Structures are given as C-alpha cells and as structure tokens.
C-alpha cells in the first residue's frame, strides 16, 4: 500500500521498456518490510541534468538504479563514489541521503560474477572475450580480472574506449593479462556480450556466431528479450548460454541494501 510516507526509488534508462529491475526490487522491498517502491523513469541523455537536479531536491526520493546510457555520465552528479564506481568510472546505483547528497556505486561486476557462479560457471583460469566498452563492460572487466581469468580480451567498435577500460583493469589488477583485439570469438572459454545489441530483435549480432567454439559459455547482460538472437544462435552452435537476468538476480540484495542504507556497501 503506497502512502504519503512511502520512499520513492527509480530506475532511469533510455530506452526503458526492457527493464526488469522494478519487479525484482519491489519484491525485495516487500520481503524486507520496507515502505518503498521503485518505478521506471524514461530519461534521454539530453535531459539527464534536469532530472538529476529534480530528484536531488525531492525529499522522499531515496535513490535510483542507473542503466543504459547513463552509467558513466551519472558519476558527474554524485557527491561521493564507492570503491567499485571509482575503479570503473561509472555507477549503476545512486543513493540520496537525508541531507540530499548523492552517493554512487557500481554493482554490475559483482552481480555478473555472482550470477555466473550461481549457475556453476567459475571464470578463474578462462580466456575471456568481453564485447563492449560502456559502464557495465568496465565493471565486468574489472571483476573478471579480479576473479583470476587467464586472459581478458576487450573488443569494441571504438577501440579507444576499449583501451580506456584496459587501463582501468590494469590499475585495479596490475598482474592481470588484458588486451584489446577484434571481436573474433574463436578460442575463448567465455564470451560476454556487454553491448546493448540484442535489445531489439532486429539488432545485428555483436560477433560472427559461426566462429564460436562448441562448449563456450556465451553470456548476456541484456535482460529483455531474455533469449536474445545471440543466445539463440550460440545454443545452436552447441554453446552453453547464460542469461542476462542472472546478473540482476545476484545484484538485487546488494543494490537493495545500498539503497536502503543497510549492509556492507551502505
């Protein structure tokens, strides 16, 4: 039951129709006995500054989840950043304090790793191809390097953005083997699509799926559609597929505790 005392939380994105976070977070709030609700807010990049100023001034606003395309830009509106957000240069969660300060942190990396491990996939010792160079890709790259992968290869259409992530990975994990290369998926044990390709069924595949080796784990961060064209084609090739929802499932408690001001990350 929503009342005048209910704390308001949001997820901001562009586009917004594909997000599944409100369902997951509202279930978390209910289970935690919190008088809180999360709603989706469609925010184009050109309007981010206006929306952030308004939400900062909204007294019953508790914070937000941040997704495409705002994860990197939102750090510029934060008064404080947690360790993962500082390492990555992006945030996917922002908490508003009672005083109106905005505190950002990044849980995509921990969530992706947690989702992989929950499905029985330990990336330690694997050769990994990571596709993309946005905020989620950067967080996943740092997390995978910390998990002890044998080698991390980052591929992105704009090579300079991939190189920038590699620099962040080396800063966080100096002993990690990380390099930038083309998006050829042959010879990898794990291929991660951290691009937005797949949000629309008409999107091109981010790789040549014919180059996938049978048995490779192919992982998505796209959550809707759940079975993206990449995952469908990878399964036809005999690959093990890993859905984007597993990352969200592993993040729910981390994000919820942070937004409510409880737990180790608060």
Residue 225 preceded by cis peptide, ω within 30: yes
Pinpoint the residues of the chain covered by CATH 3.40.50.720.
Answer: 109-246
Pinpoint the residues of the chain covered by CATH 3.40.50.10860.
Answer: 7-106+249-260
For a pLDDT cut of 90, what percent of the chain falls above it? 95
Given this model, what pLDDT does residue 1 score? Answer: 87
CATH class of 7-106+249-260: alpha beta
The band of 200, judged by pLDDT with boundaries at 50, 70 and 90, is confident
Per-residue model confidence as pLDDT tens digits over 85-94: 999 999 999 9
Per-residue model confidence as pLDDT tens digits over 210-241: 999 999 999 999 998 999 999 999 999 999 99
Among the options 51, 55, 71, 113, which is catalytic? 71
CATH class of 109-246: alpha beta
Is 161 marked active-site? no
For a pLDDT cut of 70, what percent of the chain falls above it? 98
Average pLDDT over residues 101-117: 97
Confidence (pTM): 0.91
């Amino acid at each position: 039951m929503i009342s005048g005392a209910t704390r308001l939380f949001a997820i901001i994105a562009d586009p917004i129709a594909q997000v599944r976070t409100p369902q997951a977070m509202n279930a978390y709030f209910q289970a935690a006995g919190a008088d809180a609700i999360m709603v989706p807010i469609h925010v184009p990049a050109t309007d981010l500054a206006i929306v952030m100023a308004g939400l900062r001034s909204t007294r019953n606003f508790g914070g937000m989840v941040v997704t495409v395309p705002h994860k990197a830009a939102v750090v510029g509106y934060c008064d404080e950043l947690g360790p993962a957000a500082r390492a990555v240069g992006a945030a996917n969660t922002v908490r508003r304090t009672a005083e109106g300060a905005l505190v950002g942190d990044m849980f995509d990396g921990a969530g992706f790793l947690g989702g992989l491990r929950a499905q029985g996939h330990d990336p330690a010792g694997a050769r990994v191809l990571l596709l993309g160079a946005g905020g989620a890709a950067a967080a996943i790259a740092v997390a995978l390097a910390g998990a002890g992968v044998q080698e991390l290869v980052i591929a992105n259409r704009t090579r300079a953005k991939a190189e920038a992530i590699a620099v962040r990975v080396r800063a966080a994990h100096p002993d990690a083997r990380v390099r930038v290369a083309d998006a050829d998926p042959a010879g990898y044990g794990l291929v991660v699509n951290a691009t937005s390709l797949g949000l629309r069924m008409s999107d091109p595949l981010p790789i040549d799926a014919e180059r996938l080796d049978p048995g490779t784990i192919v992982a998505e961060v796209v959550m809707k559609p759940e079975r993206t064209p990449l995952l469908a084609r990878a399964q036809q090739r005999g690959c093990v597929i890993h859905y984007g929802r597993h990352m969200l499932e592993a993040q729910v408690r981390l994000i919820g505790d942070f937004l409510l001001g409880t737990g180790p990350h608060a």
